[in-house]
Amino acid sequence: MVKKTKPSIIILVMVLLMILLPLNLGAQYYNSVSNTQQAETVSKKQAVRKAKEYLGFCAFSRGGLIEQLKYEKFTQAQAEYGANAVGL
């Protein structure tokens, strides 16, 4: 014989799942975004350092510096960030 469960218990469990599940997924999303942003920050800092290094011994236009940084395997966004950071 199957025991019947009260509807209020089922509703309570469903409400708890609706509350707790999104919180867990939100934490996972935040951690993945945070790790990505941290990696980007390191790459951007490296682009700034390399841009300063190049400008220390040679004059570059903004476009020339960006192209040089891209040649050094920085992305377009990282190269532009480096050029912006040094005032070009």
Whether 55 is in a domain gets the answer yes
Q: How far apart are CA 70 and CA 62, in angstroms?
A: 12
What is the domain count for the chain? 1
Whether 4 is in a domain gets the answer no
Whether 35 is in a domain gets the answer yes
| Tens-place pLDDT, residues 47-88 | 999 999 999 988 899 999 999 999 999 999 999 999 999 998
Whether 36 is in a domain gets the answer yes
Q: Is the pLDDT of residue 27 over 60?
A: no
Q: Is the pLDDT of residue 21 over 60?
A: no
86 within 8 A of 52, measured Cβ to Cβ:
yes
- Owning domain of residue 75: 9-85
Whether 3 is in a domain gets the answer no
Whether 1 is in a domain gets the answer no
Contacts with 76 (C-beta within 8 Å, 6 or more apart), sequence order: 66, 70
